[in-house]
Chains A and B, each alone.
Chain A
Amino acid sequence: MATRAVLQTFERYQKERVAFVTTVAEMAKNPQNIEALQQAGSMALLRPLLLDNVPSIQQSAALALGRLANYSDDLAEAVVQNEILPQLVYSLSEQNRFYKQAAAFCLRAVAKHSPELAQAVIDSGSLDSLVTCLEEFDPGVKEAAAWTLGYIAGHNAELAQQVVDAGAVPLLVLCVQEPELSLKRISASALSDIAKHTPELAQAVVDAGAVAYLAPLVISQDAKLKRQVCCSLSQIAKHSVDLAEVVVGAEIFPKILTCLKFPDEFVKKHAATVVREIVKHTPELAQLVVGNGGVASLVDYVAESSGNNRLPGIMALGYIAAFSETLALSVIAEKALPPLVQAINEETEDHLKSATAWTLGQIGRHTPDHAKAVSDTGVLTTLVSLEGDGASSEDLKTKCRRALKSIIGKLTHLPALDALVHRPLPEGVMKMVLEQAGKVLANDPSGRAQFVHSGGLAAVQQMAEAPGSKLKEAVEIINSCYPEEIVKYYSPSYSQQLLEKLETMAASQTAY
């Protein structure tokens, strides 16, 4: 009987504990309650419940702590300061799978806020236990552990190196092969977080054979999985030529080009990023992409998307066109110029405009045909106005200037140069235009007459007459192509000179 009474007390206490911890866990879901919970001192009360005998209380306590830490980094700091982490880590290796999931969730909630907190999580010895969790049979535990490792490694290179040193990468690669979709997603995102920092880390990921398992997942129909896989492939490929070749060797083309038309916009963006990271290294890789029909998909993508999503597509086109004139010609042949011109006219952000300006410069800089194709779209005036605009950033101005220089330097189409001469251009640009006009006129007799008829010669003379102009030498070269009378006829000061001559003549006559 006495034992019965004793047992009853303990049972009631246990019921209360269970009720308390489940209520706190439910309340912690609501962000409005969290301040009150923190003030009430829930952290200190939940900590001993982590050591409770009853497994469900432990789980709910870990869950509640995780939700609290998830809310803000102050609470996460509080979790670290209350020395809850070592306890979590210790029980992570011993308890059942629900507790492991809850403990891993709590560690993840702490580690995600800042690198210092992630370092604190590592310092409490969690890496080994998390890596052990990755070998568990239950997919929920593996998911939670992989998520935590991904958050830790995502902050900076040192943390990622510590994660790799703990031996997580081969196990994450094993997780990618599991049939559960959410586990695949999380491990792909963890691998991308590891590989994104330095080439050595990316090499470590590749050495574990990740690419061979990630590449076939590109064709899955699940949007989130495709996002993560494309993201990880792009993080691997961006560092060096060898890594890009490894990624290409896993036969992602042309499958990844079909991702550029997937209904989800982030999938499209990440797929374009993969293409960009591969294309930027060598001309052979660019040719491979072009040979697989990459230009068409990129052009369609740039035409359909807007804002920041366009950026990788535009840059990929620029990288392709930069390598050789044949590739630039293939870019032009696929009608890439209209969407690029539309982008540079309509986009509001400066970095997008400078990327587009750079791309246009790379397309137009090879031969006169390329320059003519670019100038026929009428984009040179936009570039000039962007360069002269005070509101543009330095980077945008530099890129516009370089693009103009490279395009005009190859432009031999006289009507286009003519049109430019009539516009109010800044001096540096006008100098380029005039120099180019001089070179073209020297070789083109029929064009000279046209130049005169369209009023170009008159405009050029006026420019030379302007005080303090550095354009005189360029103008003189142009003048040397024409007979003197025509030059004099069109120069504005000639009429003045004639009048002055008349006056001196009249003065000398009256002298007599």
Chain B
Amino acid sequence: MSTLARLKSKVPSVLEEYFKACSLAESKRSAEVRAAIVIESCARGFLTRRRLKKLTDVVVNIQRYWRGYLGRLRATLALEIKNKKLRELYFDAQASVIQRHWRGFWSRKSKFDFYARKRYLKEVHSKNAEIRKEMEAEAQRAISAQREMAEDMARRLFDSRVGQLHHLVSTAAQPGIFNSPYALATKTVPLVLGAPVEEHLKASFKSQAAQHLPPIKKLGKKATHPSNIYASEALVDGHKLPASVTLRQAVPYDKVHQADLLEEKVHRSEMLKLHPTPFAGSMRPPFYPTIDPQSIRNVEKYKDPHDPTVGTRNETFSAAMQAMSDKPFLKYQHKQAYFNPVMNKESY
């Protein structure tokens, strides 16, 4: 109760305080309201700003990420372009090299090749130098050959003339024409090929004489003794035989035939040496000149006026046998015997 009383005592003061408070509050209410509004607006502003900032941050972040993406795209594009350009430049350079080589090749092939011409001229030059050397050598050879031929002819002419000279050579008492004492005194003896003319005369006479006569050999008494001339053994075809065997048996029986065959071979080889190349055929039929054709001389049989038996005997030879064969002169008659009917009849 006390409290209540106390409380009730306090009511007017309270009421007054209340009233005062309220009127104070009221007097300050507009200002406070405005202040409150200001504070609220600031607070709202701050909160909104804070919210917006968050949004902005987020948006900026998003934009950042987006811009990064776009930038990377552009960067790759740009990189590609740059690489493409680099590659193009590289290929252009390579293409220029190829084109340069190609143009050089094509120009050299189709229009004009300078180095080929240079090489050709060098080759021609070296070949010319070679030919010049060869020509010099040939000219020297030709000159020396001509000189040799001329010398040879002159020597042969001199030899033939000397061989025909009839002048006498000098003797011990009388000097010959080619050995005059005047020439000996003045030492103007004429020399030909290093020897005086008289030597040539003697030499040519000796060679001429040697052609006709065999050399005379002087044999002593011992050499002419029969036991030295006739040997006791002889070498026959590789065999040693006693010399008492006769000459006929010492020689093979067909030695003559073999000698004839050898002669024929030599003759044929000599002909081949003279005519080594085969003849080209001529267009005419070959012309064989006949030896001793029929003429008035051999139509009639020869009647020897000095033979007393002419006309007395019968004809031992038939007309066919007496007729001239068309190959009258045969070298190897024993070979023809097999084929020649006349000879077969052993009419000789």
Contacts and interface: CB of A to CB of B under 8 A. Distances in A.
A221 interface: yes
B287 A132 contact: yes
A292 B127 CA distance: 7
Interface class of chain A by DSSP:
helix
B142 A174 contact: no
Interface in B142-167: 142-143, 145-146, 149
Contact of B124 (A171, A173, A254, A295): A295
Contacts of A177: 277, 279-280
25 contacts: A131-B284, A136-B289, A167-B283, A170-B281, A174-B279, A174-B282, A177-B279, A179-B274, A221-B142, A221-B145, A257-B135, A258-B135, A258-B138, A261-B139, A261-B142, A262-B138, A292-B127, A293-B128, A296-B132, A326-B117, A329-B117, A329-B121, A333-B121, A333-B124, A334-B124
A240 interface: no
Give the residue among B128, B149, B275, B283 with the most A Cβ atoms within 10 A: B128
Interface string A289-307: 0111111110010000000
Contacts of B142: 221, 261-263
Interface string A326-347: 1001100110000000000000
Interface class of chain B by DSSP:
helix
B128 A334 contact: yes
A135 interface: yes
A88 interface: no
Contacts of A132: 287
Interface residues of B, number: 34
Interface of B: 117, 120-121, 123-125, 127-132, 134-136, 138-139, 142-143, 145-146, 149, 274-275, 277, 279-284, 286-287, 289
A320 to B, nearest CB: 11
B127 A291 contact: yes
A290 B124 CA distance: 7
Contacts of A260: 135
A330 B124 contact: yes
A449 to B, nearest CB: 31
Contacts of A263: 139, 142-143, 146
A104 to B, nearest CB: 17
Contacts of B135: 257-258, 260-261, 297, 300
B280 to A, nearest CB: 6
Contacts of A295: 124, 128
A369 to B, nearest CB: 12
A455 interface: no
Contacts of B125: 333-334
Contact of A258 (B121, B123, B134, B275): B134
A296 to B, nearest CB: 3
Give the residue among B120, B131, B132 with the most A Cβ atoms within 10 A: B131
Nearest to B136: A261
A300 to B, nearest CB: 7
A209 interface: yes
A2 to B, nearest CB: 17
